[in-house]
Amino acid sequence: MTGSDAQGFGEMPIGDELLDRSMLERLLERSPHAVILVAADWRVSFVNRKAAELANNPVAKLIGDKVWTAFPFLEGAQLHCQRALQKQADLEFELQLPNDRWLQVCVCPEQQGFALYCTDITAFKLAETALREREAELQDFFENGNVPLHWVGPDGTILWANTAELTMLGYSEDEYVGCKISDFHADPAIIEDILRRLASNEKLDSYESALRCKDGSIRHVAISSRVYRKTGAFVHTRCFTRDISAEKARAEVQERLVAIVHSSDDAIVSKDLNGVITSWNMSAERIFGYSAHEAIGQTVAGLLIPEDRQDEEPDILSRLHRGERVDHFQTKRKRKDGTLLDISLTISPVRDSKGSIVGASKIARDITEQVRNLEALQRANEALKRSNADLEQFAYSASHDLQEPLRMVSTYGEMLKKKYREKLDAQADEYIGYIVEGAARMERLLRDLRAFTQATLEQESSPPAVDSQGVFNSALLNLKTAIQESQAQITVGLLPRVRIHEFQLSQIFQNIIGNAIHYRSEALPRIHVEAQRDGDFWRFSIEDNGIGIESEYKEQIFGIFTRLHPASDYSGTGMGLAICQRIVERAGGRIWVESEPQRGSTFFFTLPAQLGN
């Protein structure tokens, strides 16, 4: 037997019999533990096979050596062994070996030494370490994960909350943990309901509630909760909190959109890419006469499109497949009763979450009444144009035809005035003067009326380009007498070539410059004319130092027969500026005035520029 001469290892009593030494050796050899018997002088007296494997030496080499020499890795156990011997009591402890292996050692004191029972627990320690690491990872997951979590006691006290929960609500741990969960719910009655359900072992999944944040805002949440029990007792609830505020907001927007669709005055219809109707709002029912039950599942072409317009739907579907939008397409659609409606369609492609086109949304507006009104308005406009043309033609003809009888009245009035002046009484002379003056005014009025209608009746053909500098000079010659009598000072800048009939531009210059001289102040008239480029137009300005115009009359002065002063103060027919406005607008420009009373006026008008000018 190995170690047969070891001290303290002889016959051992078991009951009333002696246990044979060979039998004991066989039992120890089969032991899963390393067994080392150590004598009182600390020398090894017995080792089994497991102990020899642990020392990586043969048994014979180990027997008789000091235990710390034979098993140097047990040197750390020396103090434990001494303590066990002093107390004469078994002692267990764990020992880490240099090669990262672990032993569980049991020291058993005997009368002539002690026994060491060593068990390799490396696998257990590795498993224990891995378990601790997993527990740490799990703790970190709960503590620092993105999912808000909190534990709540049976009385509603918050026992623990992770970082995500605190961040979501904006509280610190001291402000949240230890408080009642009901303090943070917008409706405390909900907590009573939650705790009551959980106490009766009900599991909550996505229970909707609202939590009050530190900043006063409300977070809508869905709570999933389970009760943790220990030996049957309610310990705490484990609550997973999901923020559904964005979902609630989207749902509310969706509900509002649905409400808008249903309450819209326009028919709002959706269809798939085959033209099959998939939704149908209340206005679609009202406009087309079909209920949603009757319309959904039918094709637009078969239900709404008249026979003579069947080619429209394939074209529309083709454009939708290409991702194009159809805006304000005016067409006709038929009602359930066969009535044709004028419809304005706006059709947009509908895309899924991946961006693929899956259908279309159509807004159909009934414009039947508008179309009828527009047609009636067009007919009225045509009639008005014809009437205006007839009236203008009549005015032109009348102003021309009245010239001859008016000339006779004027001629014979002048003859009466010359022949019978001071030969009749004073009243007769006064009457004759009225006749002559009235005839002169009528002649001027007919002349201006003929010029006004002539400007209106001018053909729409594109006018030629004229040199406005030359036209201006000609206009000054026509005004020579008025200029000399008033001693007016007229200055001019460089004037461009513009597109307008020459005689019309001459009328503009003569009327505006003539008015500047006519409506002068006590100072000598000063008039300045210039032109500046304004895009495709030339902007002319004629500035004077006359009596000016009140702001409320700046638009009225361009009206026909409009006068701001009595005829006794300033003569004239009130047609000049109306003629200018008609000429400028027919040429494609506009005319306006800027003025202050007693500080003069500046008349502006624009005319198209000559190409390349």
Read off the amino acid at residue 53.
Answer: E
Residue 400 predicted with pLDDT over 70: no
How far is residue 277's CA from residue 288's CA, in Å, rounded to a whole number? Answer: 13
pLDDT > 60? residue 567 = no
Q: How confident is the model at residue 613 (pLDDT cuts 50, 70, 90)?
A: low
User: Does residue 604 sit in the same domain as residue 490?
Assistant: yes
Residue-range definition of the domain harbouring residue 73: 12-125
pLDDT for the residue numbered 603: 93
d(CA 44, CA 51): 11
Q: Do 535 and 597 sit in the same domain of this protein? A: yes
The answer on 276 and 220 residing in a single domain is: no
In a domain, 222, yes or no: yes
Element (H, E) at 331: strand 326-334
Domain-embedded: residue 238: yes
Regarding whether 298 and 172 lie in a shared domain, the answer is no
Q: What is the 3-state secondary structure (H, E, C) of 143-155?
A: HHCCCCEEEECCC
If one counts the domains in the chain, the total is: 5
Whether residues 433 and 483 fall in one domain? no
Q: Are residues 194 and 73 in the same domain?
A: no
**Residue 254 within any structural domain of the chain:** no
Per-residue DSSP letter, 55:
H
Higher pLDDT, 411 or 402: 411
The percent of residues above 70 in pLDDT, for the chain, comes to 82
Q: pLDDT tens-digit profile of 113-162?
A: 899 999 988 888 888 888 887 877 777 777 776 788 888 888 888 888 88
CATH of the domain at 214: 3.30.450.20
pLDDT tens digit string along 216-273?
Answer: 888 888 888 888 777 777 777 878 888 888 888 887 777 777 777 777 788 888 888 8
Domain boundary pick from 312, 344, 366: 366
For the domain that residue 392 is a member of, what is the CATH number?
Answer: 1.10.287
**592 and 541 part of one domain:** yes
**Low-confidence winner among 39-48, 259-268, 585-594 (lowest mean pLDDT):** 259-268
Mark whether 424 and 449 lie in a shared domain. Answer: yes
- Confidence at residue 530, expressed as pLDDT on a 0 to 100 scale: 95
Q: Is the pLDDT of residue 285 over 60?
A: yes
Same domain (yes/no): 195, 216: yes
Could you tell me if 20 and 97 lie in one domain? yes
> Is residue 5 included in any domain, yes or no?
no
Q: Is 133 among the domain residues?
A: no
- 491-544 pLDDT, tens digit each: 999 999 998 888 788 889 988 998 889 888 888 999 999 999 999 999 999 999
Last residue of a domain, one of 248, 277, 310: 248
- For residue 5, name the pLDDT band (cuts at 50, 70, 90): very low
pLDDT per residue as tens digits for the range 51-109: 888 888 888 888 988 988 888 888 888 888 889 888 999 999 988 887 788 899 999 99
Q: Which residue has the higher pLDDT, 410 or 351?
A: 351
Supply the pLDDT for residue 2. 39
Residues 436 and 470 in one domain: no
In the chain, the amino acid numbered 504 is Q
* Continuous segment of H or E residues that includes residue 271: strand 267-272
User: What's the CATH number where 479 sits?
Assistant: 3.30.565.10
The DSSP code for 110 is E
| Model pLDDT, residue 452 | 56
Cβ atoms of 531 and 496 closer than 8 Å: yes
Q: Which residues pair with 343 in a beta bridge?
A: 331, 366
The answer as to whether 549 is a domain residue is: yes
d(CA 302, CA 300): 6
In this prediction the pTM is 0.38
Length of the chain (residues): 613
Among 352, 206, 200, 336, which residue's Cα sits nearest to residue 267? 336
Domain annotation covers residue 257: no
Boundary of a domain, candidates 192, 218, 248:
248
| Mean pLDDT (whole number) for 468-495 | 90
Residue 4 lies in a domain: no
Answer yes or no: do 394 and 300 share one domain: no
